[in-house]
Amino acid sequence: MNVRKQSYITGRGAGEIAASIERGIRESRLPPGSRLPTVRELAARLEVSPTTVAAVYRDLGRRGMVSAAGRLGTTVSFRPPVATSWRPVFAPGVRDLASGNPDPELLPDLGEALVAVQVPPILYGQRANDPELVEVARGRLHRDGVAADHLTVVGGAMDGVERALQAHLRTGDRVAVEDPGYPGVLDLLATMGLVPCPVAVDDRGPDPQSLAAALGRGVSAFVLSPRAENPYGSALDRARAGELRRVLDQHPEVLVVEDDHAGEIAGTAPFSVSRGERERWVVIRSVSKSLGPDLRLAVVGGDATTIARVEGRRLVGTGWVSHLLQRLVVWLWSDPATPARLERAARTYAERRGALLDALAGHGIAAHGRSGFNVWVPVAHEDGTVAALLDAGWGVLAGERFRIGSGRAIRVSAATLAPADAERFAADLAAALSTAPARIA
Ligand SMILES: Cc1ncc(COP(=O)(O)O)c(C=O)c1O
């Protein structure tokens, strides 16, 4: 979106200009992805020097508000670190295959757990982690081949990723990330002043050669999703995890962050690249997708130094994750009904994903989605395809937010798409693909 003609970017000095842009972002007049004027244009309009505007853009970039988008110039970040009222909304009647949420029908009913959970008053200064939660989590990680002597509890996968990175990295450090990958991670890096370094992915996870190349350029950390990779749907198998481990063994100082955000409902077995055997590592298991996003809690296994730093930093901030929440997760994980419920959820998501992939294949459309909620469909024209699908009543996401250098695509979340509807969607996508180029010409 070009906002060249809009005049609410004002000010005579760098501070005022930056504040007016931040206000524009906050008040949604500069929505995510919108393009700012070029340095020269804005300098001419405000009658300030180009150096001043360049300094403003640099400062906003350092704070994660905007990003340099190559030939596109400077654009507002997709998730700028300031509260905005901007929300993607679909017109009534449009099927939302964009949100990436779990199906509420497949989440546990919390009624019984809320009645059963008993927590004595917890006061300041008491231990941060529920010992039973730590024990259950350790057992689960151990069962999956991850030796986690040191373990802590955080507020979800993204909280874990941020805290692990913060434990070791400083502004300007480079981080290897999946491409395409989760925009939440890209936005987080921007906010922390860290520099993403793309690693190609295929159906079996990050590509070892591409990872080796990124590591060769000097990165301090590698963030990956071992399964339910968002948006590509890739998942490690044993062989790929081993290949990546051997590549990483050449760089023992690199922090490896494994974001297992989907956990048991990913539909594929857990494989860990680090297995708890590196100098700096964390494996993060969130319950957001399996038990519900509002229970946003994750357990983090890691090396002694990283976990101690995470806990020390947390102590001066939020202190701990509510023990009510921790006990709730212990209760749900210990409930005899939970394993069958999680298996059913994993099976249902896999069926929905599989039905969509089959229907697309029936129309000659190649797509990816081995694990998790999402299917990634390479297309020649992202915006045109998204717009044509919207006309047909389907809301999906353009791949742009997920990509650094990888090819164009759309992301379709199959989490709530019944197999019976998959064929209709595939037919509409096939029609959209035949008309999309014309629409954006
Ligand atoms: C790769 C990835 N990591 C993390 C998250 C968020 O997890 P949490 O809610 O536990 O922070 C998501 C959400 O979709 C995701 O796709």
Together in a domain, 345 and 300: no
Verify whether ligand 1 is closer than 6 Å to residue 233 (CB atom): no
Top mutation candidate among 79, 158, 227, 373 for ligand 1, by most atoms within 8 Å of CB: 158
User: How many angstroms is it from 289 CA to the middle of ligand 1?
Assistant: 8
Given 299, 318, 334, the domain boundary residue is: 334
Together in a domain, 283 and 387: no
Give the number of the atom of ligand 1 that is nearest the alpha carbon of residue 297. Answer: 10
59 vs 193: CA distance, rounded Å: 11
Residue closest by Cα to atom 3 of ligand 1 = 261
User: How many angstroms is it from 38 CA to the middle of ligand 1?
Assistant: 34
Verify whether ligand 1 is closer than 6 Å to residue 182 (CB atom): yes
Identify the domain containing residue 395 by its residue range. 95-104+339-440
Q: What is the predicted pLDDT for the residue at 68?
A: 82
Task: Quote the DSSP letter at residue 368.
Answer: B
Give the number of the atom of ligand 1 that is nearest the alpha carbon of residue 298. Answer: 10
Verify whether ligand 1 is closer than 6 Å to residue 187 (CB atom): no
Together in a domain, 289 and 380: no
146 vs 123: CA distance, rounded Å: 33
349 domain-assigned: yes
Give the number of the atom of ligand 1 that is nearest the alpha carbon of residue 372. Answer: 16
216 vs 36: CA distance, rounded Å: 34
User: How many angstroms is it from 51 CA to the middle of ligand 1?
Assistant: 39
Together in a domain, 317 and 435: no
315 domain-assigned: yes
Q: What is the predicted pLDDT for the residue at 2?
A: 46
Together in a domain, 213 and 290: yes
User: How many angstroms is it from 359 CA to the middle of ligand 1?
Assistant: 27
Task: Say which residues have a Cβ less than 8 Å from residue 252's Cβ, sequence separation at least 6.
Answer: 278, 279
| DSSP per position, 14-75 | HHHHHHHHHHHHHTTSS-TTPBPPPHHHHHHHHT--HHHHHHHHHHHHHTTSEEE-GGG-EE
Q: What is the predicted pLDDT for the residue at 437?
A: 57
The CB-side HSE value for 9 (13 A sphere, CA atoms) comes to: 27
Together in a domain, 434 and 309: no
Nearest alpha-carbon partner for 437 in 392, 394, 388, 368:
388
Q: What CATH number has the domain bearing residue 286?
A: 3.40.640.10
Strand partners, 197: 176
Q: What is the predicted pLDDT for the residue at 6?
A: 61
User: How many angstroms is it from 208 CA to the middle of ligand 1?
Assistant: 23
Together in a domain, 303 and 393: no
Verify whether ligand 1 is closer than 6 Å to residue 259 (CB atom): yes
Verify whether ligand 1 is closer than 6 Å to residue 298 (CB atom): yes
233 domain-assigned: yes
138 vs 142: CA distance, rounded Å: 6
Residue closest by Cα to atom 13 of ligand 1 = 261
Q: What is the predicted pLDDT for the residue at 3?
A: 46
Together in a domain, 313 and 226: yes
3-state DSSP percent of the chain in helix, strand and coil, to 5? 45, 15, 40
208 domain-assigned: yes
Q: What is the pTM of this model?
A: 0.91
Q: What is the mean pLDDT of each run of 10 residues along the chain (441 residues)?
A: 64 95 91 91 95 95 86 84 78 93 95 92 94 96 94 98 98 97 94 95 98 98 98 98 98 98 96 96 98 97 98 95 97 95 97 98 98 98 95 95 95 96 98 70 37
Q: What is the predicted pLDDT for the residue at 7?
A: 75
Q: What CATH number has the domain bearing residue 35?
A: 1.10.10.10
Number of domains in the chain: 3
Together in a domain, 154 and 296: yes
User: How many angstroms is it from 232 CA to the middle of ligand 1?
Assistant: 14
User: How many angstroms is it from 19 CA to the middle of ligand 1?
Assistant: 31
68 vs 83: CA distance, rounded Å: 21
Together in a domain, 244 and 152: yes
90 domain-assigned: no
7 domain-assigned: no
Phi and psi for 420 in degrees, rounded to 5? -65, -25
Together in a domain, 324 and 355: no
Phi and psi for 358 in degrees, rounded to 5? -65, -45
Given 272, 306, 334, the domain boundary residue is: 334
82 domain-assigned: no
Verify whether ligand 1 is closer than 6 Å to residue 293 (CB atom): yes
Q: What CATH number has the domain bearing residue 351?
A: 3.90.1150.10
User: How many angstroms is it from 400 CA to the middle of ligand 1?
Assistant: 18
112 domain-assigned: no
Together in a domain, 348 and 330: no
Verify whether ligand 1 is closer than 6 Å to residue 299 (CB atom): no
Verify whether ligand 1 is closer than 6 Å to residue 205 (CB atom): no
Given 334, 368, 395, the domain boundary residue is: 334
